Structure 1
């Protein structure tokens, strides 16, 4: 369970039977003078990937961020080889601001880049 301080939010996506499909955690990216930028993290059950769960969670977090008065959303650490996530975020208006070379140690691919992605709200 995530405990998110205000104005943050945590959601759990379920199907009609109560099966957990995925989760989202939304929050200010930084405190203080950086608190006008939102961030979020997501997890989707591998059995339910490719069915729109991640898109729905991301769309929900963007709507939350707009309603909460954030000016933009940033993802600080998107693994560059996670092409499904990168393409999803790009389709929702995010752009790659930069990539930390070898910023992530992938268990199968070794060291890979870590993107920072941004989208104005």
Structure 2
């Protein structure tokens, strides 16, 4: 995918929001957030995250996650739902659970992991009516 194609896919349109985490001129990661569904489901937020592998373990994902939660709360969303957290991504699962998300369900064999083959995708949820 070209940079322009990637930007078009990743950049959220209003009411959504896209942010980047940088250190000096180095891009560390990015997050895209907005309503999980249009219309009657638009009171639930969702977000997607990417952190450059060279910067894993530095708190970039946590910072992006807490920013997304604060934004969703301030924008009036009632909860946040992640539709596809790869079950073998233990760091991500641990991070989201530490930020108050629970696993609602796991869709079996919904992701074809390059190392682990077919693995499940967690649907994770967190209410936003409590403190971060």
Which bin holds the TM-score, normalised by the shorter protein? over 0.9
Determine if the alignment matches structure 1 residue 42 to structure 2 residue 38. Answer: no
Stretches of structure 2 that go unaligned for 5 or more consecutive residues are: 1-6
Aligned pairs for 1:1-121 within 5 A: 1=7, 2-15=10-23, 17-121=24-128
C-alpha distance in 1, partners of 2:37/2:99?
22
Shift of 1:3: 3.0
TM-score, length of structure 1 as denominator length: 0.97
For residue 72 of structure 2, give the secondary structure of its aligned residue in structure 1.
helix
Q: Is the 8 A contact 2:21 2:27 kept in 1?
A: yes
Residues in 1 aligned to 2:94 and 2:121: alpha-carbon distance in whole angstroms: 14
Which secondary structure state, in structure 1, belongs to the residue aligned with residue 84 of structure 2?
strand
TM-score by length of 2: 0.89
User: In the alignment, is the contact (CA less than 8 A) between 2:11 and 2:32 conserved in 1?
Assistant: no
SS at match of 2:118: strand
Aligned to 2:3: none
Residue correspondences, number: 120
Pairwise CA distance, 1:6 = 1.4
Question: Which aligned runs of 4 or more in structure 1 are off by greater than 4 angstroms?
Answer: none
